[in-house]
Structure 1
């Protein structure tokens, strides 16, 4: 693995954008609009309202919450 390899939740972003047809910034905005909520509530929202898979939803929520808490 080289030093430019994306790791963690962001490594899912290219496939999320391709599969669901929205930019990551749009998904993050949806998460932020749903706050305050717990992590798994946000994951469930993305899954139920937007048909997102668990891993993809979890990656977006984890990344968004980490940015908000940094």
Structure 2
């Protein structure tokens, strides 16, 4: 039996479907951005790429957590 994905990663299938980019590509964009603060990155993804708040927040939260940023 497989466990359901929880947390920010639960948004990933719908992000890929709606916005047509793989999650790895979104994470790379976030990591290359000169911005470093969570909400700055969320606002940037929303303004620059048209992501909704939930999708942008999930991508940023997951990426920063992977990178050990709190």
Instruction: Confirm or deny a common fold (TM above 0.5).
Output: yes
> RMSD in angstroms over aligned alpha carbons?
1.5
Q: How many residues align?
A: 69
CA distance in 2, matches of 1:48, 1:36: 14
Which deviations, in whole Å up to 9, do the C-alpha atoms of 1:7-53 show, x marking residues without a partner?
00000000000000000000000100014510000001100000000
Aligned to 2:53: 54
CA contact (8 A) 2:35 2:41 kept: no
TM-score by length of 2: 0.92
TM-score by length of 1: 0.92
Query: Unaligned stretches of 5+ in structure 1?
Result: none
Aligned to 1:30: 29
CA distance in 1, matches of 2:34, 2:26: 13
User: Which 4+ residue blocks in structure 1 deviate beyond 3 angstroms?
Assistant: none
